[in-house]
Chains A and B, each alone.
Chain A
Amino acid sequence: MGATVGSVLLSDGLVAVVKRDCPTCVLVEPVLRELGAAVWCQDDAGWFDGDDTELELSYRLGIETVPTLMRVEGGTETARVVGWSREQWEGLTGVTGLGPGLPEHRPGCGSLSVDPGRIDALEARYGGSGLSSRRVELADLEDEHEALFDRGWTDGLPVVPPTPERVLRMLRGTPRDPREVVAVVPPDLVECTVEKVAVNAVMAGCLPEHLPVVLAALEAACAEEFALHGLLATTYFSGPLIVVNGPVARRIGMNSGVNALGQGNRANATIGRALQLVERNVGGGRPGEVDRATLGNPGKTTFCFAEREEDSPFAPLAADRGVPGDAVTLFAGSGVQPVVDQLSRDPESLARTFAACLRVNAHPKLPMAFDAMLVVSPEHGRVFREAGWDRARLLAELDGLLTLPAGELLRGVGGMAEGVPANLAGADLPKFRPGGLLVAHAGGDAGLFSAIIGGWVSGEAGSSPVSREVHA
């Protein structure tokens, strides 16, 4: 009589799991041989008769400590002790006088099957992993990176192959059930599970601690008012931009400082990329198909940064939008337009510079058509902070400066056919709809530069920014 554990047959009697690297296991070797136990070794196939270097038995039996001694009767484990304790071993075996030269008690060592570096692979191989995505076997002669390109799953850059063990490791970044639906992703309107987000996050290069931010970003991007289908399909430049607020940003190593909108930070780069890969792979949104952008912009590969909350003149962006703490704000962002002002030292002058640069957003003669995000750098931000201007004060100033007489905007004025229709003549027109201009704070300590990130068609006709809480 015995028990089948996975592919291993266990006989009735005494069974032990050991590893040679464990001094306690070496200590009890003579005892195990004297008892005639069936001994399985994790790290040396030749030490005893049992070879568990694949760790299947250890994983399936839930071995956490070596040595573990078990009694199997009628195919069932009936008793188990861990480490060395003469009293316990004698109790389990019914044999007295074990290991006369040994100490009374000696703790064991950690089992290789619970080693953090191996547990994901074991779970993927032997566990009921709970993963439901289709498993794709790559042929031995396929280069794995080329194979993923060939299947159309990448954004033009190589991706990390989403093996089951990597996806399981990624899923440790969230307590959410892998089967839970996070969002319905356009354009194909596919229900996207936590697991599918994890698969694409692996491909993007995310760490597990980035996953909650990706999940929140996807929820926000798929909110009805964000209009992700149109944003993807548009001939315009824009794509989703993620701004992260709250302690989570620093905790996961995001960049809000030097080169915040640029390359070189893993969290910034991979979180934005993961969202884009979900949109592509799950939603089915691919350039040249539903994505009809005339030119696009480099940020469509990834565009994600953290707001610099320290020394900011403004409250955190998401908090000002009603979502305090850890949060993402999604904005339909196009490229970056530089703003240079190295001379203004008072807020009124600097605001006039911002207004002059914001006026050209999309076209200097098109009001209320396109949103924008103004990213104020620390050196510019200091001017507002020292003057006591918060976000609302700056926006109010910009509203005034960007209320434009229609006479300057009419079609044909300035020798440009583009502009507003003649029936608006005589009106004063705001450049931005209410809520259509966002202001954030980011960047390195030095540089009297800020940035305008152009938006997309604004408000109900297009996209509205969306803020969502990041759940741990």
Chain B
Amino acid sequence: MRTVLDPTGERQTSARELLPRPSSLRGRRVGLLDISKARGDVVLDRLEELLTADGAVVHRYRKPTFARTAPVDLRHEIAEQCEVVIEALAD
């Protein structure tokens, strides 16, 4: 029997239930976070138009720089103010 030591952080991730998916965005507060990449505003402006047309209430946020994680206060603000976040990755 050979034994090796675990090189990982040995983190235990906690599993959380997802909230039920809303059947409609009408009247929901939706967060859009601009990560400060070039021309990110172009795509987010268009998304806002489309979401607003569907009756969603859009809140816009912006990270100081794309190169760093969003500040804790900003994450808290989004969590407090939004019911729905559209998660996507783009570049």
Contact = CB atoms under 8 A, between A and B. Distances in A.
Interface stretch (B1-9, B16-24, B43-51): B1-9
Interface string A286-329: 00000010100000000000000000000000000000000000
A284 B9 contact: yes
A458 to B, nearest CB: 9
A137 B5 contact: no
A456 B67 CA distance: 10
Given A227-B68, A234-B67, A196 B9 contact: yes
Contacts of B6: 133-136, 199
B37 to A, nearest CB: 10
B91 interface: yes
Q: Which of A131, A185, A190 has most chain B Cβ within 10 Å? A: A190
Interface stretch (A161-169, A248-256, A387-395, A434-442): A161-169
A133 B1 contact: no
Main secondary structure of the interface of A (DSSP, over half): mixed
A140 B1 contact: yes
A294 B89 CA distance: 13
Interface in A180-237: 185, 188, 190-192, 196, 199-200, 203, 227, 229-231, 234-235
A164 B3 contact: yes
A185 B69 contact: no
Nearest to B6: A134
**Which range holds the interface residue count of chain A?**
35 or more
Interface stretch (A33-41, A275-283, A400-408): A275-283
B7 A281 contact: yes
Contacts of B64: 461
A230 B3 contact: no
Q: Is the interface of B mostly helix, strand, loop or mixed?
A: loop
Contacts of A95: none
Contact of A457 (B5, B7, B9, B67): B67
B10 interface: yes
Interface string A62-94: 000000000000000000000000000000000
Interface string B76-91: 0000000000000101
Interface string A128-143: 0001011111101000
Contacts of B8: 153, 281-282, 284
Q: Counting chain A CB atoms within 10 Å of each CB, which of B8, B11, B68, B91 scores highest? A: B8
B7 A203 contact: yes
Contact of B67 (A140, A190, A227, A283): A227
A101 B49 CA distance: 106
A192 B9 contact: yes
13 contacts: A133-B10, A137-B1, A138-B4, A161-B4, A162-B5, A162-B7, A163-B4, A163-B5, A230-B66, A231-B67, A282-B7, A284-B9, A457-B65
Given A190-B11, A283-B9, 12 more contacts: A133-B10, A135-B5, A138-B1, A140-B1, A144-B2, A163-B4, A164-B3, A167-B5, A185-B9, A188-B9, A457-B65, A461-B64
The 8 lowest CB-CB distance pairs between A and B, nearest first, are A190-B9, A230-B67, A134-B6, A133-B5, A462-B67, A461-B65, A281-B7, A282-B9
Interface of A: 131, 133-138, 140, 144, 148, 153, 161-164, 167, 185, 188, 190-192, 196, 199-200, 203, 227, 229-231, 234-235, 277, 281-284, 292, 294, 456-457, 460-463
Interface of B: 1-11, 64-69, 89, 91
